[in-house]
Amino acid sequence: MEKTLIIIKPDGVQRRLIGLILSRFERKGLQLAAAKLMHISESLARRHYAVHEGKSFFDGVTKYLSSSPSLVMVWAGPGAIQICRKLMGKTFGCEAEPGTIRGDFGCSRGYNLVHGSDSPESAAYEISLYFTPEEILTYPITDEPWVFSNNQ
Ligand code: IDP
Ligand code: MG
């Protein structure tokens, strides 16, 4: 089953939006495989955003991610990575479509509420930063045939 790392970033936690944001992934039919509320350290944030090292926003985004607690999660499901990216919307709330998480809850160019892995490679790397294999749960979920059926 495909897995992706989703983080409700410090602004999402501080603005008490955890429930509303989390419900977007849940009601889509994805399966929660792991979750922890944690204050990400600056060094972990720098490893998380290592692909952006050297860019103008690198210091800002790593300070942002380590500024206050975040809810770090693994969501699973067929096509979970792209499904979550679509649910999140474009990078900045001011540009993201209404109906997406970023489009509905934010309009900042610095704070954007959620992180989601953008490829299988980045998902594997990012999940390994936050979770041990034992912390990622696999369990039957009763509505799966109803949610993911191809209707064939
Ligand atoms: P993504 O989160 O939509 O994948 P990326 O381009 O991977 O966007 O950038 C990672 C994060 O860095 C963004 O979510 C955002 O928090 C921050 N960021 C990206 N570009 C800028 C910028 O131009 N100014 C400020 N922050 C930025
Ligand atoms: Mg990205």
Residue 152 in this model has a pLDDT that exceeds 90: no
* Token couple for 91: 């990078």
Give the integer Cα–Cα distance in Å for 99 and 86: 10
Domain range summary for the chain, segments of one domain joined by +: 3-138
Is CATH 3.30.70.141 what the domain over 3-138 is classified as, yes or no?
Answer: yes
Q: Which residues is 72 bridged to in the sheet?
A: 7, 36
Rounded distance from Cα 116 to ligand 1 centre (Å): 11
Q: Which SS3 state, helix, strand or coil, does residue 54 take?
A: coil
CA of 142 to the centre of ligand 2 (A): 32
pTM above 0.95, yes or no: yes
Sorted by sequence, the CB contacts under 8 Å of residue 84 that are 6+ apart come out as 4, 6, 25, 30, 75, 116, 117
Mean pLDDT for the chain? 97
Q: What is the pLDDT of residue 150?
A: 84
| Interval 111-125: pLDDT, tens | 999 999 999 999 999
Atom of ligand 1 nearest to the CA of 91: 3
For the chain, first and last CA: distance in Å?
A: 20
Closest C-alpha to ligand 1, atom 25: 110
